[in-house]
Amino acid sequence: MRSRINIGWRELVSLPDLGVSRLHAKIDTGARSSAIHAESISEFSEHGQACVRFEVITDDDLGTRSVCTLPVHDRRHVMNSGGKRELRYFVHTTLCMGGKCWPIQLSLTTRHQLRYSMLIGRQAMGGRVVIHPGRRYLAGEPTSRPE
């Protein structure tokens, strides 16, 4: 049995495939999928495969923008935080938290009106974490590769 990471309702994560070394994320067991605030989202084709280019703004004091390009894994409707269905792009990437890294699916959306630019849903956590809802930042600083 793999060891589980103790986390709170808010954690620091990294997304090394996207060039994001530190991002505050809200843990949401009520959400099935994970989402990240993305800007300038555009789809294009590369060698016959649908790809998406987008910008992610990091949590550093400078608001650094990371321009990312990944293959489109899926496009599907998701219920947003306001209860409305919206069509989103989904990509595969790597999430690092608590000294461990694993693959996740991530939807691209506009979250500028929300407090946290990333939300981590149930699918991304499955069997890997123990959540302490009254605590935060239990996993420590994120790494870009497992320890």
Q: Check which CATH number belongs to the domain holding 27 and give it.
A: 2.40.70.10
CA angle, residues 127, 130, 132, in degrees to nearest 5: 155
The answer as to whether 144 is a domain residue is: no
What is the number of domains present in the chain? 1
At 137, is the secondary structure helix, strand, or coil?
A: coil
Residue 31 lies in a domain: yes
For residue 62, the model assigns a pLDDT of 64
- Domain presence at residue 139: no
* pLDDT under 50: residue ranges of the chain: 1
83 within some domain:
yes
* Residue 55: exposure state from Cβ atoms within 10 A (0-12, 13-18, ≥19): middle
CA nearest 71: which of 27, 121, 108? 108
Write down the pTM of the prediction: 0.87
For the chain, percent of residues with pLDDT exceeding 70: 90
The encoded tokens of residue 64 equal: 């650094």
Residue 74, both tokens: 């899926």
Show the domain range for 53: 5-132
Q: How far apart are CA 126 and CA 138, in angstroms?
A: 18
Per-residue confidence (pLDDT) for residue 5, from 0 to 100: 93
pLDDT at 45: 93
pLDDT of residue 115: 74
Residue 1 is predicted with a pLDDT of 46
The radius of gyration of the chain's CA atoms, rounded to the nearest angstrom, is 15
Q: Give all strands (DSSP E) within 4-115, no chain letters.
A: 5-8, 10-15, 20-27, 34-37, 39-46, 49-57, 65-71, 74-79, 85-97, 100-109
